[in-house]
A and B are shown apart, each in its own frame.
Chain A
C-alpha cells in the first residue's frame, strides 16, 4: 500500500465524537489493547488525521503515528504501536528467508509461514503458545513477526484463513499492508 514514498496531505483535527468512535473501533478490533488504550489514545488529547494518497487516513497524536485506515476498511495499527504493545495483536511468524521479501514490499506467501521457521496459530512447535490456539479467518488484521527477531516487521490483512493455509501450503497469505521501511514508516510528521 505504501511501497513508494508518500507525501502527506492535509492535516486536520478530529472531531471529539469521531475520536470516541475511533477509540471504540480500535477496542472492538483489538480487545487486548484495553489495558493500554488510555496510553495510546488518551481521552483528553486532540487527535489529528492526516490524509495520505489512495484514500488512506492516518491518525496521529502530536507527531506519533498511531493507526491508519483505508476508506472504511479495518483500522490498522502503525508498526511503532505494534512494537510497543506486541502482545495485543494476532500474530504470525515468518521464516528467515522471507524477511527480505517482506521488507521490500512483496505480499506475504503461505510457504513462509508453514515452513519450519514460520509459525501459525496452534502450531506444534510453538511451545510457549505465543501465537495463540485459535485459527484465524481471512480478513483478520495480523502482525507478522520474523524468525529470530523480537520486533514485528509487517502489519497486514489475511487473505486466507490459517486453517486453509495449513492444508494448501501455497498462494498469497497476506496482503502487503504496512511493513518496516515503507513509505508510511519513513513518513516524517514534523
Chain B
C-alpha cells in the first residue's frame, strides 16, 4: 500500500472544519449536515443514511450510548450558547474612532474595539497605513487592550472605509468622537 503515490483527497466540513465523518462529534451536527447536503450530496447520502446511523448505534452498549447522547446534547447547547453570545457582542459592541489633538492643527486618530468583530488589529493597522499612506500602528491602551493609532486626522475616512470594507460591521456601531488633549476641568464640582 505504501507504493500508492497519489495523495488521498480529504474534504473538510465548511461549518466545523473537521472531516465530515467526525461532524457528529462536534456541537453543530445539524448545521454540518445541512452544509454537506448542499455541497457534497454523495457524501451526505453515505454518512447520514439510516443504515449507517443504525450501525453506529449498535457498536455501543446502551449505557454508553446514553452517556454519549447526553454529552452531545451538552456540547450542542454550549456551541449554540457561544454563538448567540458572539452575535450579541457583535450587535452591542461599538467601534470608537477618536480624533486626538496632538499639537495644534495636528491630529492622530485612534481606533478601538475592532476585536469584537473578529478583526486582527495588526492586519487592519497595516491596511490603514497602506490605504491612507500614513503611519499606522497598534498601541497598548493604559486600561488594557489595544488600539490602532493612525497619524493624521482621518476619522471620517476611516469610518467610511470600515463600513465599506468589512460588511459585518453595521454603520450604527461606529462612533466618531473628538478628544482634546487637555480636557477643560469642569468648574463646578
A interface residue numbers (CB < 8 A to B): 32, 35-36, 39, 80, 83-88, 95-97, 99-100, 103, 117, 147-151, 153, 180-181, 185-186, 190
In the bound assembly, the distance between CA atoms of A47 and B59 in angstroms comes to 44
Q: Mark B89-116, 1 if CB is under 8 A from A, else 0.
A: 0000000000000000000000000000
With known contacts A96-B59, A97-B60, A100-B71, A87–B21 Cβ distance under 8 A: no
B76 within 8 Å of A (CB atoms) = no
CA–CA, A32 and B1, complex, Å = 10
User: Do B17 and A39 touch (CB < 8 A)?
Assistant: no
* A190 / chain B contacts, CB cutoff of 8 Å: 123
Asked if A181 meets B2 with Cβ closer than 8 Å, knowing A84-B8, A153-B22, the reply is no
Subset of 7 A-B contacts with CB under 8 Å? A39-B7, A83-B8, A85-B8, A97-B68, A100-B25, A103-B22, A185-B17
Q: Are B59 and A147 in contact (CB under 8 A)?
A: yes
Interfacial chain B residues near A147, Cβ < 8 Å: 59
Quick one: given A83-B10, A96-B60, A185-B17, are A149 and B22 in contact (CB under 8 Å)? yes
Given A95-B59, A96-B56, A117-B59, A87 contacting B4 (CB threshold 8 A): yes
Residues of chain B within 8 A of A117, CB atoms compared: 59
Closest A-B pairs by Cβ, 5 of them: A84-B7, A83-B10, A151-B19, A96-B59, A149-B21
A35 x B22 contact (CB < 8 A): no
Tell me the smallest distance from the CB of A122 to a CB of chain B, in Å.
Answer: 17
Give the distance in Å from the alpha carbon of A186 to the alpha carbon of B25 in the complex: 16
Known: A35-B3, A83-B10. A150 touches B25 (CB 8 A): no
- Complex: A117 Cα to B1 Cα, angstroms: 23
Q: How far is the CB of A148 from chain B (nearest CB, A)?
A: 7
Interface magnitude class on chain B: 20 to 34
Which secondary structure characterizes the binding site on chain A?
A: helix
Q: B26 near A: Cβ within 8 Å?
A: yes
CA distance A186 to B56 in the complex (A): 27
Beta-carbon contact of B60 and A180 below 8 Å: no
Chain A min CB distance to B10 (Å): 4
Contact of B5 among A35, A86, A153 (CB under 8 A): A35
Complexed CA–CA distance, A151 and B12 (Å)? 11
Give per-residue flags for B47-68: 1 if the beta carbon is below 8 A from chain A beta carbons, else 0.
Answer: 0000000011001100010001
A residues within 8 A CB of B18?
180-181
CB-based contact B59/A148 at 8 Å: yes
Q: Within the complex, what minimum Cβ distance (angstroms) separates B112 from chain A?
A: 20
Q: Which listed residue (B19, B56, B59, B72) contacts A180, Cβ 8 A?
A: B19
The residue that A84 contacts in the complex, of B2, B10, B59, with Cβ under 8 A, is B10
| Chain B nearest Cβ from A182, distance in angstroms | 11
